[in-house]
């Protein structure tokens, strides 16, 4: 029975999230319950637990009385019985007797062991839950342990199991078992009475924590991250502000020759990051958020939350960005629906450079057209289909499709 208890303590020491004082309290509570079941009360018992080696000592304290004066055998003992424990005991003193574990019986010991295991498991779950509940929004580093179709299991430095769902991964993320990875604690939830820690690499908080790690001025409070919007793996916009005029918030975040932001970009699988100087002037903020496009004028409608942005013809595609990410993120950042319009100038014959159509027309086709001296949309439209077929390697159907795209630009 003693061996079984020692084995129990050895198992308890493997638990990671329980401190010594809490363990002692739980163990003593379980054994006092065992004492109460056998003796009716544990008021006059001392329980000494050594969590280092599994030693357990239980002592019963009883008042020594004369023969025939015992009213409560659990709290009183005759002088004759007391002298069997220690010969120099006297009436009125307190007799201290060590309780042999064998008195409780094998079944009681086994029950106590199971109760201990159950209590400690529940306690560890609670501590694990509380630990990560307080870490929501923080970055954790772990090792990839198991890869499934819809999620990855990560082990933290204490061997705790964390979950990274596929929907919270950057599209270009690729991990193998044993890889080290970083993510932010997104949320903590209970699933079938077990804590489940959900991580994310797509949340704006992940990018914000990465900036805090790379830019000391943010961690020190000299620069404030006002807002972050992301299209994970594609593009992100980060609005920053400094209350100290001596500090350039954008320059500090980017670093000398991009030294600070390069590490973040690599972590995010080459996600393009635009760092913007925040301002409460909405028109100026829209102008900055649409960078690198150069805005001519902006009309705001606060009631509908719409912003009409007018740009030179050759800046429209830049404002929209590849896949529409630039204008979409700009709208999220400023909180307005942004519509872009090409400036109309009756005095000028408007034209658009062919390079502005790179998202719609393959680059090799643009190069083919440039090879015969056609580098703007109107120069292509002004040439007949027959001439284009004879002077390039393009087929008639391809030329017709290209002209449809170019004509749509001027509608």
Q: Which of the residue ranges 287-296, 319-328, 368-377 would you say has the lowest mean pLDDT?
A: 368-377
pLDDT, residue 367, reads 85
E strand spans, 84-193: 94-98, 139-147, 151-155, 161-165, 180-191
- pTM of the predicted model, to two decimals? 0.65
The domain in which residue 382 lies consists of: 354-409
CATH number where 92 lies? 3.30.1480.10
Cα separation of 127 and 137, whole Å? 18
Cα separation of 141 and 155, whole Å? 9
pLDDT digits (tens, 9 = 90+) for 245-255: 889 999 999 98
Res. 286: pLDDT tops 80: yes
The answer to whether residues 115 and 19 belong to one domain is yes
The answer to whether residues 152 and 249 belong to one domain is no
pLDDT digits (tens, 9 = 90+) for 324-364: 889 999 999 999 999 988 876 544 456 788 888 888 888 88
Res. 72: pLDDT tops 90: no
How many C-beta atoms lie closer than 10 Å to residue 305's C-beta? 12
Q: Per the domain annotation, does 328 fall within a domain?
A: no
Of 254, 278, 302, which residue constitutes the final position of a domain? 278
The answer to whether residues 31 and 113 belong to one domain is yes
Over pLDDT 90: what percentage of the chain? 41
CATH number where 153 lies? 2.40.50.140
pLDDT, residue 54, reads 56
Q: Which of the residue ranges 164-173, 267-276, 278-287, 371-380 would you say has the lowest mean pLDDT?
A: 371-380
CATH number where 263 lies? 3.30.300.20
Res. 276: pLDDT tops 50: yes
The answer to whether residues 62 and 147 belong to one domain is no
Q: Per the domain annotation, does 12 fall within a domain?
A: yes
Of 96, 121, 146, which residue constitutes the final position of a domain? 121
Of 200, 226, 257, which residue constitutes the final position of a domain? 200
Residues 6+ apart with CB under 8 A from 85: 95, 96, 97
Number of folded domains that form the chain = 4
pLDDT digits (tens, 9 = 90+) for 90-147: 888 899 988 887 777 778 777 877 887 787 788 888 888 888 999 999 999 999 999 9
The answer to whether residues 229 and 263 belong to one domain is yes
């Amino acid at each position: 029975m003693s061996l079984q208890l020692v084995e129990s303590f050895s198992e308890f020491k493997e638990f990671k999230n329980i401190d010594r004082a809490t363990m002692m309290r739980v163990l003593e509570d379980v054994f006092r319950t065992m004492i109460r079941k056998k003796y009716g009360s544990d008021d006059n018992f001392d329980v000494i637990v050594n969590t280092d080696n599994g030693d357990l000592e239980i002592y019963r304290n009883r008042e020594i009385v004369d023969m025939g004066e015992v009213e409560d055998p659990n709290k009183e003992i005759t002088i004759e019985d007391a002298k069997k424990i220690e010969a120099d005991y006297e009436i009125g003193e307190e007799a201290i007797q060590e309780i042999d574990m064998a008195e409780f019986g094998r079944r009681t010991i086994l029950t106590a062991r199971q109760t201990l295991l159950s209590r400690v498991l529940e306690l560890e779950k609670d501590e694990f839950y509380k630990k990560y509940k307080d870490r929501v929004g923080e970055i954790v580093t772990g090792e990839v342990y198991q890869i499934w179709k819809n999620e990855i299991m990560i082990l933290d430095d204490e061997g705790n199991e964390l979950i990274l769902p596929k929907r919270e991964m950057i599209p270009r993320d690729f991990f193998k078992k044993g890889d080290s990875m970083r993510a932010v604690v997104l949320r903590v939830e209970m699933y079938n009475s077990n804590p489940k820690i959900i991580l994310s690499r797509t949340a704006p908080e992940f990018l914000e924590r990465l900036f805090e790690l790379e830019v000391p001025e943010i961690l020190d409070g000299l620069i404030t991250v006002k807002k972050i919007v992301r299209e994970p793996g594609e593009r992100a916009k980060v609005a920053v502000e400094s209350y100290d005029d001596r500090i350039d918030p954008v320059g500090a975040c980017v670093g000398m020759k991009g030294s600070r932001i390069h590490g973040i970009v690599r972590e995010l699988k080459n996600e393009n990051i635009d760092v913007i100087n925040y301002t409460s002037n909405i028109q100026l903020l829209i102008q900055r958020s649409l960078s690198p496009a150069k805005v001519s004028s902006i009309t705001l409608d606060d009631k509908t939350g719409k912003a009409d942005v007018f740009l030179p013809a050759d800046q429209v595609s830049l404002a929209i960005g590849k896949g529409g990410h630039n204008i979409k993120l700009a709208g999220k950042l400023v909180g307005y629906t942004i519509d872009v319009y090409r400036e109309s100038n009756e005095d000028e014959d408007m034209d658009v450079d062919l390079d502005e159509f790179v998202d719609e027309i393959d680059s090799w086709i643009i190069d083919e057209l440039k090879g015969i001296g056609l580098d703007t949309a109107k120069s292509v439209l002004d040439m007949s289909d027959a001439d284009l077929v004879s002077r390039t390697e393009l087929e008639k159907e391809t030329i017709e499709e290209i002209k449809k795209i170019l004509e749509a630009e001027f509608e």
